[in-house]
Chains A and B, each alone.
Chain A
Amino acid sequence: MRRLRDIWLVAGADLRESLRSWRALLLLLVFAAGSVGAALLFIEVLSQAEAVAARALRVPATDRPGALTSTLRESQELLQVLNDLIGDEAVVREVLEIPPIALFYGWVALTFVPALATFVAGGSVAGERASGAARFALARTDRTSWAIGKLAGAALLLFVGLQLAAVAVWVVGALQTTGMPLAETALWLTRMAGRGWIYGLPWLGLAVGISQMTRSTYLAWGLCIGGLILGGALRGALNLPRVEAWDPALIGAVRVLLPGSHELDLWRSDWADRAPAAAILLAQGIVAFTLGHLRFLRADA
């Protein structure tokens, strides 16, 4: 209980400090603005798709998109767009029940959350060790509680950021489209933000893990960005047919270790499909955090 109390105190202080700092606010604003921009782009695509559908149905096109959404959900054009975004037709059919703008936000969140998590958490421990601020806390609580508190603070900040962006997207959708089911869309946007957050957990664990391994903020950022690039490159390489053919069992096993391999499962509508992916992503985050923490425990604070 005492440990939980300390973790909560550290996380709360970290979240408040982040929200007061211009850097974290700027980061969240950039993400929210990016989400809004992407939503506007999507609305434009939706508008064009609706125009195509309207011509096919020989009905008048509308000024604001959304009027033909139910028809559109069954259209081949949208199916193609979603296929391009998600990459799995079975999943696409499952997610077609999701309001289009929430669906699109989900894609934005899952695509950009690794970078967001890295920027939110990459300097969290290293920065405080470099400035010496860590020592004020470490005279009062143990390293494990403090580091978990920093991780929890970053996770809370990521959650806040994703939910704020979801609200911004909802407002844009409500203003720019007609017939958007407000409550249903709000619910789905919240769910998508939550799924994005779960997908961010391994990246948060990796970022805080790396951040515990050095006292240099710049080195921590560099290693985190390197990890992002390496993860993306490895995922891309493993998807090459030539590589997959080399040793399918081994490649399959390596793929399980990469967070990106579990992204698709988060799109599925059934919780039974999503839960294992969420558990694996959480475990990946814990392992990455722990590896960094083991080094931090032996190092000078």
Chain B
Amino acid sequence: MSGTPALWMSAVTKRYGRIEALRGLSFSVPQGAICGMVGPNGAGKTTAFGVALGFVRPDAGEVSVLGLGPFDPWRHKGRVGVLPQDCELSPHTPVDALLRGYARLQGRSAKEADHDVDTILDEVELNDRRGALIRQLSHGMKRRVAVAQALLGAPELILLDEPTNGLDPELMVRMRSVLRRRGGERTLVVSSHVLAELEAVCDHVLFVEHGRCTRQGSLAEVTERQRRLRYQLGGSAEALLASTAGGAGTVRSRLMEAMPGLAVEPVDQTLHLTAPVGVEAAELNARCIPVLLGAGAALEEVLAGERLESAWMARAKTDDTV
């Protein structure tokens, strides 16, 4: 990843009448990242996308796209792809003609546009419907066309607002693989409510709430992969902690002895252990696993870090606005 952020915003504000959609939004997305933008409805994610692409005029603040300043259709021509939220494609145009038109509009020659369209239709598996009018497609297919137009050509930065909205589970999986492939080459910013989906695709996360970025960083940092472990058990985690099997005192007290400063949290059949600052997950595992095995715990899986969902739910506790 190069030093210049792919997308950078500083103290951006935007007000719609009495509603303050963005309240000093600041964040930075490194180049080459697949960044998940997480936030509840009305948090300002779509407005942030709009500001990034010049659709929405901010009241204050600074924006830089690919290190070239605010979005300019001529300066950034062909270098940024976008899937806006809830936007309808021209209903009476055939799929291939629509995509070819967009490719041409982003500066591609006729030959390049034809090639781009063939490639992207293969990628989103719509080659057999290339001649169909947009209005003749199902909702899921329209969504795939909308994603396809964002990936056309070779954009360096791709902004996708709820890309898998309305897709069936199989298509969601396929779409994830499309995004992962693109992510290896480009910077992707993906907004979604489905945190598990973002966790599966992203390597960078932004939490946006009330028009502000409340947390940002790599997925490993945000989910504390370096010092947090999740033990998936065959039984109740609470019961295991209260058990005295395999030694003196409860499993909980023996874990605390094995690693002073350890945070222990049972959730159904999962035991969450967080090492004190400065201790890494490998050492945590090395010290705690003998205790668990000694108590006869049925360990099914050990995972590094907490779920993105848990990190999101725990955000109120941290409140480290950046």
Residues of A within 8 A of B (CB): 2, 6, 9-10, 13, 16-17, 20-21, 131-133, 135-142, 298-301
From the candidates B74, B81, B89, name the one contacting A139 in the complex (CB within 8 A).
B81
**Closest-CB distance, B254 to chain A (whole angstroms):** 58
13 more A-B contacts (CB under 8 A) besides A132-B86, A301-B50? A9-B105, A13-B101, A17-B90, A131-B88, A133-B90, A135-B53, A135-B84, A136-B84, A136-B102, A139-B73, A139-B81, A139-B84, A301-B56
**Closest-CB distance, B11 to chain A (whole angstroms):** 19
The 7 A-B pairs at the shortest CB distance, nearest first, are namely A132-B87, A20-B92, A131-B88, A140-B105, A301-B55, A135-B84, A142-B73
Name the residue of chain B whose CB is nearest to the CB of A145.
B73
Name the residue of chain A whose CB is nearest to the CB of B104.
A9
CA distance A13 to B87 in the complex (A): 18
Contact A141/B89 with A299-B57, A300-B55, A300-B56 known, Cβ cut-off 8 Å: no
Residues of B within 8 A of A (CB): 50, 53-57, 72-74, 77-78, 80-82, 84-93, 97, 101-102, 104-107, 133, 149
B73 and A141 contacting across the interface, CB-CB below 8 Å: yes
Contact A298/B57 with A10-B105, A135-B82, A136-B102 known, Cβ cut-off 8 Å: yes
Residues of A within 8 A of B101 (CB): 9, 13
B105 and A137 contacting across the interface, CB-CB below 8 Å: yes
**Closest-CB distance, A197 to chain B (whole angstroms):** 24
B105 and A6 contacting across the interface, CB-CB below 8 Å: yes
CA distance A301 to B52 in the complex (A): 13
CA distance A138 to B105 in the complex (A): 10
CA distance A131 to B92 in the complex (A): 14
14 contacts between A and B (CB under 8 A): A6-B105, A17-B93, A21-B92, A133-B87, A135-B55, A135-B84, A139-B80, A140-B77, A141-B73, A142-B72, A300-B55, A301-B50, A301-B54, A301-B55
Residues of A within 8 A of B133 (CB): 20
**Closest-CB distance, A120 to chain B (whole angstroms):** 15
CA distance A20 to B135 in the complex (A): 11
Contact A133/B105 with A139-B73, A140-B77 known, Cβ cut-off 8 Å: no
Name the residue of chain B whose CB is nearest to the CB of A5.
B104
B57 and A300 contacting across the interface, CB-CB below 8 Å: yes
Name the residue of chain A whose CB is nearest to the CB of B73.
A142
**Closest-CB distance, B7 to chain A (whole angstroms):** 14
Name the residue of chain B whose CB is nearest to the CB of A127.
B88
Contact A133/B89 with A6-B105, A300-B56, A300-B57 known, Cβ cut-off 8 Å: yes
**Closest-CB distance, A3 to chain B (whole angstroms):** 9
A139 and B93 contacting across the interface, CB-CB below 8 Å: no
Contact A135/B105 with A20-B133, A300-B57 known, Cβ cut-off 8 Å: no
A135 and B90 contacting across the interface, CB-CB below 8 Å: no
CA distance A133 to B72 in the complex (A): 19
Residues of A within 8 A of B87 (CB): 131-133, 135-136
Contact A142/B84 with A136-B102, A300-B55 known, Cβ cut-off 8 Å: no
Name the residue of chain B whose CB is nearest to the CB of A8.
B104
CA distance A137 to B92 in the complex (A): 16
CA distance A299 to B105 in the complex (A): 22
Name the residue of chain B whose CB is nearest to the CB of A18.
B92
**Closest-CB distance, B103 to chain A (whole angstroms):** 9
B92 and A132 contacting across the interface, CB-CB below 8 Å: no
